[in-house]
Structure 1
Amino acid sequence: MTDPTLQQPRLPVDAPAAEGETRPLKLFIRSFGCQMNAYDATRMADALAPEGYAETGTLEEADLVVLNTCHIRERAAEKIYSELGKIREMKEASARPVTLAVAGCVAQAEGAEIIRRQRAVDLVVGPQSYHRLPDLVRRARAGASVVDTDFPVESKFDHLAAPSAAKTRARGVSAFVTVQEGCDKFCSFCVVPYTRGAESSRPPEAIVAEVRALLDAGVREVTLLGQNVNAYHGIDAAGRAWTLAGLARTLADLPGLARIRYTTSHPRDMDAELIAAHRDLPALMPFLHLPVQSGSDRILHAMNRKHDAASYLALIGEIRAARPDIALSSDFIVGFPGETEADFADTLALVERVGFASAFSFKYSPRPGTPGADLPDHVPAAVMDERLHRLQALLEEQRQRFNRSAVGRRLDVLIEKPGRHPGQLGGRSPYLQAVHLEGPASLIGTVQPVDILSVGPNSLAGRLPDLGRPAAEDPTPALERLAS
């Protein structure tokens, strides 16, 4: 997950349009949080393109500014109000009208309270109403304060505009596709069921059509998104229920699709069919994000996770038996109410047992309206800080060990873009590692074998191989070494 900071606003420098000319409208969207928000940002831009809005990466050029927000942690939510204050100053200094919108999960959770706290906000729109954006923006630009946080009966996906092929190409060779939204799990720390609603899945035909359009525009890799993506249960036109595994098998047969990923999963929904898909489908990448949150059974019960440490470890064993080279990522929360040092030690022990290629870890953040916020025995901040430091040190050690294990191996790399230096290319390994190498720009959009030469703090360096020379022998899968 990411939580980027808005660019510092500068005074507007646009010259006014000459008489008789129409100045193009500019749209600036900044997304906070998960990949779902990144996908939603592209769909909002697509919905507004027919209204004459062209995307800009510069805040001070914008006629419409959208903050696409995340509500998972208190700090992320409060940061939005800080950013709104900065944008208000830019808006007041602008020589032209600037419309300010707040979208996403903070918008859904707090609604009209956002406009009350920050009068510069013109529009608040929840994640299920993005298909209404053109009308909502028109009303806001006419002077109304607009709030739309309903859960509409109609699906937004049935009404969202599709991007042009040119816009898809400009976004790169990898794309997100939302297949499932919402959550029925009600983990006691999580606001998602309240901000995104109940689990719902898009029809498989709509997903296949969207992926086909992406492939026609040059996309080579898709990441299927959902709050609980492996709970996907789409119903086709014949009334048949599809699973995520069935969807992956269908997508894998589409010409031009080199890679499939999915996130985020829940251990309860990781079934035998999906595990078998990892075994059977070369296009399904050997990298799985499977949040566990804690290694303590007592804390997992308090979190309402509906799994324990033993069942999680057994599941990991089944997955690795089917796909020995699979790499694992996870989420962890430290300092959940009532967590003792012994509970935390159980988390460290689980991390040692599994061996993760990467992970996200956070201090517990009480969210209003969730059961966890009302639990007793909240852990002091200093204790949470110390535990998070220890956990992150262990996870970082494992991440670096996993990255070092790639040196001397030949990995397939999807070449995604030019690098920062002349003649350099950037891409991703099957394990989502950033890889830099030298090569011609004509390789962008292709999957190339790359010999990994060295590892840096956050990326690998490699070279295109002399294909007459065999790759280094590596009889032990990297993840087995990591967990040993």
Structure 2
Amino acid sequence: MFEIPTKNIDERRQGEAFEGVQIPVAAGKRFYIESYGCQMNFNDSEIVASILQQQGYGATVNYTEADLVLINTCSIREKAEQTVRNRLQAFNTVKKEHPGMLIGVLGCMAERLKARLLEEEKLVDLVIGPDAYRTLPALVEEAGGGQKAVNVLLSREETYADISPVRLDSNGVTAFVSIMRGCNNMCSFCVVPFTRGRERSRDPESIIRECRELFDRGYREVTLLGQNVDSYYWDGTLTFAGLLARVAEIDPLLRVRFSTSHPKDITDEVLHTMAQYGNICKYIHLPVQSGSTRILQLMNRTYTREWYLAKIKRIREIMPDCGISTDIITGFCTETEEDHRETLSLMKTVGYDLAYMFFYSERPGTLAARRYADDIPEEVKKSRLAEIVELHRQRALEKMQQEIGKTCLVLIEGDSKRSAGDWCGRNDQNRMVVFPKAEGTGKGTYVQVKITGCTGATLIGEMIKA
């Protein structure tokens, strides 16, 4: 355990999806940006904001007064794409009254749907892929001249290592730091290798510098981001475990998290590094996707059910108190009732703290879309998903109840959503903790909290006075 600091952090706005903090405006130009999907998208929006700020743009929380409206997109599920279309239609309604407004799509939908969005549906003026954000100023100028502006080229080198992200949707305590981009894993259901390109790691010195600057500005937690962080590798010598250690050594009061790990790649070296440093949080997001080896093979996940369970066992041998979360897809191509039961069985065995659960949504261009028929009826998918969600709800509640009576270290992130008289923050295992405010505490401080109760998603406690 490390020493508990007492210095508070200044108040900053927090929200679930970016709708802007105000950035000083030069030349009266404003931009508005919304982000959907994974944490990488939110981090990319902060890179875009930095590029625009250098061009004299300031952020606004109201898209009706923006000169440039951007939406950072996700293609992982059909519902996400429909959400984006609905928002673009809303933006275009406003644009009719503000003809100078430009609307752009960023991110994972850009490459796949560029022609449809620009020409067929005429919903946008510019389309920018994840590796082309440096060209945004030129594209804005081109679109402002009446041309449709597009750059969706993928790169084998781009990591934006020299760009300091503008922390848009920030509580001033926690921040995301990208350590790599792209993905080499060709999971058959996933569009990421096609929309974000090949895997490449970021210069470690730029990562350490960004994390140190965040700490000096009062941030007390960083989450290192990558599609598969365990594949991080630099200059033939530095592995992800080595990078983790270097970030943890910035200061013992800087908490370190990371996401996402791949079951085939997370190593004992990483686990031992986590156990060694008190400020590396004991929490791993380890997507399983299915409990059936047959389905895992169709998904091209490159591990079996037994391999995954052995990895869970190893994590708990090295860190018995480690929190574990996952992703689960039900209703994948040819999934039988037996396959479904194997997923339920694996969930019972592991006992996840948190799970992101979805039914399969075929994505055009993926290996699965080319190779397999999406042959599970939607009502079956929904029925199986309901069983998975209910089982997780029960097991997660049991896990939370086991925490009652224990004491944990909590980093205060801000006011509880339900009560201005309570603080909220997360413990080492990424569980949200709510407890009454007390004198001498504030955002960015660490406190010891004794757990007195819980809900299925939140621990409730009382601060222990030092």
Q: TM-score, normalised by structure 2?
A: 0.90
* Residue aligning to 2:379: 382
Moved more, 372-381 or 390-399: 372-381
* Residue aligning to 1:229: 229
Moved more, 457-466 or 152-161: 152-161
- The one-character-per-residue Cα deviations of 1:320-361 (angstroms, maximum 9, x if unpaired) are 000000111011111111110011111111111111001011
Question: Aligned to 1:81, what secondary structure does the other structure show?
Answer: helix
Q: Distance in 2 between matches of 1:299 and 1:169?
A: 38
1:328-339 matched pairs, under 5 angstroms: 328-339=324-335
Partner residue of 1:116 out of 111, 116, 119: 119
1:432 equivalent in alignment to 2:408: no
Which one has more relative contact order, counting CA pairs under 8 Å at least 6 apart?
A: 2
Q: Distance in 1 between matches of 2:347 and 2:315?
A: 16
Q: Distance in 1 between matches of 2:289 and 2:136?
A: 35
* Residue aligning to 2:254: 258
* Residue aligning to 1:16: none
Deviation at 1:143, TM superposition (A): 2.5
Q: Distance in 2 between matches of 1:171 and 1:466?
A: 25
* Residue aligning to 2:302: 306
* Residue aligning to 1:327: 323
Q: Distance in 1 between matches of 2:169 and 2:90?
A: 33
Q: Distance in 1 between matches of 2:82 and 2:175?
A: 30
Q: How many residues align?
A: 444
Kept in 1, the 8 Å contact 2:164–2:210? The answer is: no
Question: Aligned to 1:172, what secondary structure does the other structure show?
Answer: coil
1:103 equivalent in alignment to 2:106: yes
Kept in 2, the 8 Å contact 1:112–1:124? The answer is: no
* Residue aligning to 1:188: 188
- The one-character-per-residue Cα deviations of 1:155-196 (angstroms, maximum 9, x if unpaired) are 251453554xxx589651111001011111101111111011
- The one-character-per-residue Cα deviations of 1:212-253 (angstroms, maximum 9, x if unpaired) are 111111111110101111111122xxxx42111100111111
- The one-character-per-residue Cα deviations of 1:238-294 (angstroms, maximum 9, x if unpaired) are xx4211110011111112642111111110111121121122121111111000111
Deviation at 1:138, TM superposition (A): 2.6
Deviation at 1:36, TM superposition (A): 0.6
Q: Distance in 1 between matches of 2:26 and 2:389?
A: 53
1:20-31 matched pairs, under 5 angstroms: 24-31=28-35
Deviation at 1:433, TM superposition (A): 2.1
Q: Distance in 2 between matches of 1:101 and 1:430?
A: 39
* Residue aligning to 2:452: 453
Structure 1 22/277 Cα, relative in aligned 2: closer, same or farther at 3 Å?
closer
1:60 equivalent in alignment to 2:64: yes
Kept in 1, the 8 Å contact 2:103–2:124? The answer is: yes
* Residue aligning to 2:442: 443
1:3-14 matched pairs, under 5 angstroms: none
Kept in 2, the 8 Å contact 1:215–1:256? The answer is: no
Kept in 2, the 8 Å contact 1:32–1:70? The answer is: yes
The CA RMSD measured in Å over matched residues stands at 2.3
1:446 maps to amino acid: T
Kept in 2, the 8 Å contact 1:435–1:461? The answer is: yes
Among the aligned pairs, what percent are the same residue? 37
Q: Distance in 2 between matches of 1:274 and 1:429?
A: 20
Question: Aligned to 1:68, what secondary structure does the other structure show?
Answer: strand
Deviation at 1:59, TM superposition (A): 2.4
* Residue aligning to 1:138: 141
* Residue aligning to 2:3: none
Question: Aligned to 1:332, what secondary structure does the other structure show?
Answer: strand
1:425 maps to amino acid: W
Moved more, 145-154 or 378-387: 145-154
1:59-458 matched pairs, under 5 angstroms: 59-94=63-98, 97-152=100-155, 154-163=157-166, 171-235=171-235, 240-255=236-251, 257-373=253-369, 374-376=371-373, 378-420=375-417, 421-437=419-435, 438-440=437-439, 442-458=441-457
2:277 maps to amino acid: L
Kept in 2, the 8 Å contact 1:184–1:199? The answer is: yes
Structure 1 52/410 Cα, relative in aligned 2: closer, same or farther at 3 Å?
same
Deviation at 1:116, TM superposition (A): 1.6
Q: Distance in 2 between matches of 1:298 and 1:250?
A: 39
Question: Aligned to 1:157, what secondary structure does the other structure show?
Answer: coil
Structure 1 426/5 Cα, relative in aligned 2: closer, same or farther at 3 Å?
closer
